[in-house]
A and B are shown apart, each in its own frame.
Chain A
């Protein structure tokens, strides 16, 4: 079982996450796509840890998960606060910098 398989799957997941961030308009779905990207990265770390038989990769995954959790919480809190004012989560509404 070559480790490249996992790397490829992770790469594909990451790309799909990127495209999702760029294509979707709902802020919450964008956050979810970001979570998807983070998971792809976690998978990559685990694969490399497996290949080099080193636990450092797992430590990285641990911390990435921690940060992802914190970020998801704060991000959602922000979205809720914005939603209260504007009644929409469409990020195309955040266009004050538009010419």
Chain B
């Protein structure tokens, strides 16, 4: 049931995309119609809304879609924005996985700091859209990359499939404090202390390096 709902919603989204591509003038109309369709679908299966699977699937769909858009869209600014969407989806995943602290810092650090950095740089360099994705390095590159990507994905899927693990997720059966800052801090300052300190050193080095690299020459 969840699957059906999900698939239906996916179909709706794709229909929207197709109509938008083919008949750009009718966007709003198409959007309204399809939104109605989505609501109808949801209304038909209200029970699915309560399941985690549905929301996880939805978020997954969003993540993958945004990832594809990063790679496909020529304009780097748009790519940055889609990356932000992707990071949000990942943060939602963290929440589903009971990693609250990670979700928080994902949004604060990743989406909030790193992506801002990216945005600044893109706007600083005033980048235009790439002229197509044809490569001077050979058309073989694109096709080869896609094929190899497919192979890679297949291999990973195969590896995952062979895991043979048991389904585990039960919301209620968690040790309290799993995923909290307290637990994480406890580990960081005892068992992984050295790595923690080394990471701080790394950050200092990165900071200094970035400053020096991006500096204008002193005349």
Residues of A at under 8 Å CB distance from B? 1-9, 11-20, 22-26, 28-29, 31-33, 35-36, 39, 42-43, 46-47, 49-51, 53, 55-56, 58-59, 61-63, 65-74, 76-81, 83-84, 89-90, 92
Closest to B202 in A: A70
Say whether A19 contacts B214, CB under 8 Å.
Answer: no
Q: How far is the CA of A86 from the CA of B65 in the complex (A)?
A: 34
Interface string of B62-76 (1 = CB under 8 A from A): 011001101100001
**Minimum C-beta distance from B209 to chain A (A):** 5
Secondary structure type dominating chain B contacts: helix
Residues of B contacting A36 in the complex (Cβ-Cβ under 8 angstroms)? 67, 70, 83, 86
- B side interface size, CB within 8 A: 84
Q: Could you list 19 A-B pairs, sorted by A, with CB under 8 Å?
A: A3-B165, A4-B165, A15-B149, A16-B71, A19-B148, A24-B133, A33-B70, A35-B114, A36-B86, A49-B97, A53-B178, A58-B184, A74-B210, A74-B213, A76-B214, A79-B121, A80-B124, A81-B214, A89-B127
Q: How far is the CA of A1 from the CA of B93 in the complex (A)?
A: 12
| Given known A23-B141, A83-B125, contact A18–B199 (CB-CB < 8 A) | no
Q: How far is the CA of A29 from the CA of B122 in the complex (A)?
A: 10
Residues of B contacting A92 in the complex (Cβ-Cβ under 8 angstroms)? 135-137
The reply on B80 being an interface residue by CB < 8 A is yes
The reply on B109 being an interface residue by CB < 8 A is yes
Say whether B163 contacts A4, CB under 8 Å.
Answer: yes
The reply on B172 being an interface residue by CB < 8 A is no
| Given known A23-B141, A70-B206, A77-B210, contact A59–B125 (CB-CB < 8 A) | no
Interface string of B29-46 (1 = CB under 8 A from A): 000000000000000000
Say whether A46 contacts B152, CB under 8 Å.
Answer: no
Say whether A59 contacts B70, CB under 8 Å.
Answer: no
Say whether B214 contacts A23, CB under 8 Å.
Answer: no
Say whether A62 contacts B213, CB under 8 Å.
Answer: no
Say whether B71 contacts A19, CB under 8 Å.
Answer: yes
Q: How far is the CA of A24 from the CA of B76 in the complex (A)?
A: 10
Closest to B136 in A: A92
Among A50, A67, A74, point to the contact of B209 (Cβ < 8 A).
A74
Closest to B147 in A: A19
Closest to B128 in A: A26
Say whether B94 contacts A77, CB under 8 Å.
Answer: no
Contacting residues of chain B (125-172) with chain A, CB-CB under 8 angstroms:
125, 127, 130, 133, 135-137, 141-142, 144-146, 148-149, 152-153, 156-157, 160-161, 163, 165, 167-169
